[in-house]
Amino acid sequence: MEMAEVGGTPGGGVHRLALSDEDRAARDLFCGWCDGAGLTTSVDRLGNTFARRPGADDDLPPVLLGSHLDSQPSGGRFDGALGVLAALEVIETLNEAGLATLRPLEVVNWTNEEGSRFPPAMVCSGAFAGVFELEYALGRSDAAGRTIGEELDRIGYAGPAPVGGRPIAAALELHIEQGPILEEAGTTIGVVAGVQGMRWYDVRIEGEATHAGPVPLRRRRDPLRGAARVIDRLFASALESDEEARLTVGEFALRPGSRNTVPARVDFSVDLRHPDDVALEALDGRLRLLVDEVSREMGLDGRVEQIWHSPTVRFASECVRAVGDAAAALGYPQMSLFSGAGHDSVYLQRICPTGMVFVPCAGGVSHAEAESVDPADAEAGANVLLHAVLRLAGRA
Ligand code: GLV
Ligand code: MN
Ligand code: MN
């Protein structure tokens, strides 16, 4: 709740965009708590922050546990923050119990998981895992043209540590489910089997600006009509394809943006997701075809740029087992599920065995101020995280 005050909104959520002043304050608070827990903190060139507790054999690769502290523009208190703070709680619990682990543990806060300020999502954990070049990540820019590199410098979190390139024994992340499955099933713990595929696009449709009064509708080349037609047909395709298809248009901009001028240009984002990569590929094809088709029909110029593709992933069986066994040993009801949301774990699993624990959130609502978690479920999730970490890090 103290973390939720950083960037807290009147509606009960948080506004803590990556590398904003609020993000800096959240990082400062987190680092202070890590110091208090006796951890040694290091920050890499992308601001990814690792707070380390030595292992009994400190030369062994560490187990990473954590998530992210950045939020959506109108985000909730728990998306990301629950995973970072539960990881810290695991450390404090081990400290209080006087328990050492064989492997070192590192509590991690990944930079810019959300990707809503600096698309794409998860770009800094992606760079850590070698999926993106450092320069690519540093160069991602927000709507005002400020880059990740500039903003890291500005808030003082461009650290000296190299990004990735070191062995990691395993990674674990606790997160709210962000969907309704656990709540509907009345189940406390989600043992996450994997994460569905995601593709992000920038779509631009250009027509001709003209006066809203004198020019008859039939003589116009109005890109808004084109965008509306593309989006409506794409939703119809997604609805037809199957229950598992996801389509979201979350950003939409008209230029010049005047009520009595026909727009010259429309830019919008498209977020497509599906657990089956073949079905996702089909939706990709449908989007491209529709933009071409509608542009031809209406005398417009349309183009589609894919800015991100994260294929479906499946988590390593040893981590899935560690989470499931921990939940069973603690007596919590559990079920296996697939993640609809993206997480830094998607990229971590490329370099080390990775697993996730989900807990329910009220009404399945997330990426919204209304996001909330039953404290008993948060506690259960943290307990499962602790016991899964012990299984993977080994007792000294
Ligand atoms: C990350 O929050 C996502 O878009 O799934
Ligand atoms: Mn998240
Ligand atoms: Mn999120």
Q: What is the pLDDT of residues 293-313, one digit of tens each?
A: 999 999 999 999 999 999 999
**Atom 1 of ligand 1 has which residue's CA nearest to it?**
342
Q: Which residues surround ligand 3, an ion (CB under 5 A)?
A: 79, 114
**Cα(105)–Cα(39) distance, integer angstroms:** 10
| Predicted TM-score of the model (pTM) | 0.97
- Cβ of residue 114 lying under 6 Å from some atom of ligand 1: yes
- Cβ of residue 86 lying under 6 Å from some atom of ligand 1: no
Comparing CA positions, the residue from 231, 225, 101, 179 lying closest to residue 339 is 179
Under-70 pLDDT residues of the chain: none
- Cβ of residue 169 lying under 6 Å from some atom of ligand 1: no
- Cβ of residue 341 lying under 6 Å from some atom of ligand 1: yes
**Cα(117)–Cα(124) distance, integer angstroms:** 13
**Cα(394)–Cα(94) distance, integer angstroms:** 13
**What was the pLDDT predicted at 386?**
98
**What was the pLDDT predicted at 241?**
82
* Token duo for residue 111: 């930079």
- The b-or-e profile of 156-175 (16+ CB within 10 A means b, else e) is ebbbeeebbeeebbbbbbbb
Q: What is the pLDDT of residues 181-203, one digit of tens each?
A: 999 999 999 999 999 999 999 99
**Atom 3 of ligand 1 has which residue's CA nearest to it?**
342
| Ligand 1 atom at shortest distance from the alpha carbon of 340 | 5
- Cβ of residue 121 lying under 6 Å from some atom of ligand 1: yes
* Ligand that lies nearest to the alpha carbon of residue 68, given by its number in the listed order: 2
* Ligand that lies nearest to the alpha carbon of residue 368, given by its number in the listed order: 3
Which of 122, 201, 367, 371 is the best mutation target for the ligand 1 pocket, counting ligand atoms within 8 Å of the beta carbon and taking the most?
367
